[in-house]
Amino acid sequence: MILQPVQLCFGNGQSRLLQAVRQAILVPYPRSEVRADGQVVKINFSDGMFFEILPAFKNWDGSYRYPDTNMGGNWRSTNPKAEQDAMENKNISSNGLLFDTCKHLRYVRDNYFRSYHLSGIVIDSFVYQAIGNWRWLSSGESSTSAAGTYERILLDCYNQHFMWGAMPLSAPGSNQRVSTDDSRDCLGKVLRATPHRKKAAVRSEI
């Protein structure tokens, strides 16, 4: 993919960068739905497959800088290796519950709240923080908690932290601040809908 030169230093250069990426993607995929959204460019294919593309620039320390078009535009940093390691370790200790929860919240978002904004990093960071010691039961174990308790724990965590309109979230592993300004409302809707959209109750225990 070849980008035309983009002026990033003045005005909302972040928005111009995403638009340049969008235009570059439209060259090989002219009939697909492609749009810029916050920090990413989303492409939806006719078969239901979709991707989110995040343009980023690598820093000397292994972290990456990426554009955020919100609030007039700014640059954010991420350390994907540290975040991936933290998520993988937590997923192992939760017997896979962490990844399953994140995937399910994305499913609810994509199928019932597509007109709202909820970034993947907000989902991952929230679940990582809220999951505590919950885990899928191992073979032969029986649950000591009623069905639906885990889902209520997640919603209670959301309600407690967002009561005053803000929830400080940090990315797993890198501990970098995660903005929730444009994802807060949709996260609440997804969490409230989750118990009604699940095919089977989560059976976990502390």
Rounded to 5, what percent of the chain is helix, strand, coil? Answer: 40, 15, 40
Tens of pLDDT, residue by residue over 112-146, are 998 998 999 999 999 999 999 999 998 888 888 88
Tokens for 191, please give them. 């969490």
* DSSP assignments along 88-145, one per residue: HHHHHHTTTHHHHHHHHHHHHHHHH-TTS---HHHHHHHHHHH-TT-EEPPTT---SS
Per-domain residue ranges for the chain? 13-77, 79-205
d(CA 16, CA 11): 9
pLDDT score of 106: 95
Tens of pLDDT, residue by residue over 53-87, are 999 999 888 889 999 887 788 888 889 899 999 99
Mean pLDDT of 161-176: 81
Q: Are 122 and 84 in contact (CB under 8 A)?
A: no
